[in-house]
Structure 1
Amino acid sequence: MEKVNIAEKFEKFSDHWNPRIVGELNGQQVKLARLKGEFIWHSHEDEDEMFYIVKGTLKIEFRDRMVELKENEFFIVPRGVEHRPIAEQEVQVMLFEPASTQHTGKEKHELTNNRQERL
């Protein structure tokens, strides 16, 4: 058991759309990611996904609306709901999701990474 300094973890990587695992609890993984630009449309059939904004502003687009998240806000995307994250400027985000969650759901894309590094 060791404490985790989020700012120090973010200093260890600079690439975008490549989450790093920084903790696990009760079958859930805590991940940190830097986001910039538009991600792909995807859904997670069996898992909810929580986005917590550490730094910046993230938009999450749905087929019928868009949600804008700012620092210290979070949003839970329910399982099965198609969504697309958009970061006009770089965003630092913490993700909470079941360990079974596939990065881009059933979608396969050059950004898909289901073998995420542990920091």
Structure 2
Amino acid sequence: MTQPIDLASALASFSEAWSPRIVTTVNDYDIRLARFAGEHVWHVHTDTDEFFLVLDGSIDIGLREDGGERTVTLRRGEVFVVPRGVFHKPSSSAGAAVLLVEPSGTLSVGDEHDEVPANVDTTTGHPLPSRVPA
């Protein structure tokens, strides 16, 4: 990356939910933007935490831990880290824009997951279009 990237322009460059775009890379970590709409899939990253920052809207993250389930709700400007080894399921009933931080190459549906619905892209992230204005 040799030029600043405007996150609003980057978000405007795609509309697909559950199909993250790689904005940049810091050391061995991808900074990804994603649109959330509806439900993702229960999944787990066995070797890495997952960082969520809600840029717009709100999201729910279902968590399976300590033998039970709970839900964390994040609104615009709030962050949350799902620890490695915790099954989780992001969702957003009204839609949201989210910034994610994960090691490069991390699969969007984790290392283990339930059946992936057709609305969820199984990917390690897509590049942004080459010309996103700052």
CA apart distance, 1:49: 0.5
User: What is the percentage of aligned positions where both structures have the same residue?
Assistant: 36
Aligned to 1:6: 7
3-state DSSP of counterpart to 2:3: coil
- Counting only pairs closer than 5 Å after superposition, residues 20-39 of structure 1 correspond to structure 2 as 20-39=21-40
2:94, 2:14 → 1: CA distance?
17
1:37, 1:114 → 2: CA distance?
18
What's the RMSD between the two structures over aligned residues? 1.3
CA apart distance, 1:39: 0.9
1:117 aligned to 2:126? Answer: yes
What amino acid does structure 2 have at the position aligned with 1:89?
A
2:123, 2:40 → 1: CA distance?
15
Aligned residues: 119
What amino acid does structure 2 have at the position aligned with 1:10?
L
User: What's the TM-score, normalizing by structure 1?
Assistant: 0.94
Aligned to 2:85: 80
1:70 aligned to 2:75? Answer: yes
Larger mean CA deviation between 105-114 and 5-14 belongs to 105-114
3-state DSSP of counterpart to 1:7: helix
Larger mean CA deviation between 103-112 and 13-22 belongs to 103-112
User: What's the TM-score, normalizing by structure 2?
Assistant: 0.84
Which stretches in structure 2 are left out of the alignment for 5+ residues?
129-134
Aligned to 2:131: none
What amino acid does structure 2 have at the position aligned with 1:91?
A
Task: Specify which structure has the higher proportion of strand.
Answer: 2
Contact 2:29 2:104 in 1 (8 A): yes
| Higher Rg | 2
Which stretches in structure 1 are left out of the alignment for 5+ residues?
none
